[in-house]
């Protein structure tokens, strides 16, 4: 019976360690979510992602087309200090959400958007025009 109890203790220890890892990962996700801000900057024709403690933001630039009902997303930029954290995807998603909320269409001129972002987000295809 000691063996069974010992096995139970080891099993509980593994479970506890997993719970600690999960809690730590969740706390990190909350911290990173709380330390970023997305903004639409119509004066500079861009959507910008600011990260706490970073001087340079990630952004996607656009040019309104025709009567302004189409946004030509032209360039996505992520500074080296923010690369690999999903910042380009977040800032481009902000542009698509804006288009959706305002009944706009998007021309995906930026190759990141056409080649990487859109293949992962087929649900946004109805917002795209060429």
Average pLDDT over residues 42-59: 95
Does residue 87 have an active-site annotation? Answer: no
Q: How many CB atoms lie within 10 A of CB 14?
A: 10
Indicate the pLDDT class of residue 6, thresholds 50, 70 and 90: low
Residues 6 or more apart from 89 whose CB is under 8 A from it?
Answer: 117, 120
Question: Is 0.75 surpassed by the pTM of this model?
Answer: no
Q: Tell me the pLDDT band of 39, cut-offs 50, 70 and 90.
A: very high
Is 24 a residue whose pLDDT tops 90? Answer: no
Query: Average pLDDT over the chain, rounded to whole?
Result: 83
Rounded Cα distance between 93 and 124, Å, is 9
Active-site hit among 60, 110, 124, 127: 110
């Amino acid at each position: 019976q000691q063996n069974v109890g010992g096995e139970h203790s080891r099993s509980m220890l593994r479970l506890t360690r997993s719970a600690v890892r999960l809690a730590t990962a969740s706390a990190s996700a909350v911290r990173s979510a709380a330390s970023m801000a997305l903004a639409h900057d119509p004066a500079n024709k861009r959507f910008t992602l600011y990260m706490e403690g970073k001087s340079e933001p990630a952004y996607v630039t656009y040019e309104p087309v025709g009567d302004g009902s189409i946004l030509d997303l032209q360039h996505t930029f992520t500074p080296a200090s923010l690369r690999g954290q999903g910042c380009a995807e977040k800032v481009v998603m902000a542009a698509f959400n804006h288009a959706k909320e305002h009944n706009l269409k998007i021309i995906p001129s930026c190759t990141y958007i056409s080649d990487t972002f859109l293949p992962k987000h087929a649900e946004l295809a109805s917002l795209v025009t060429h």
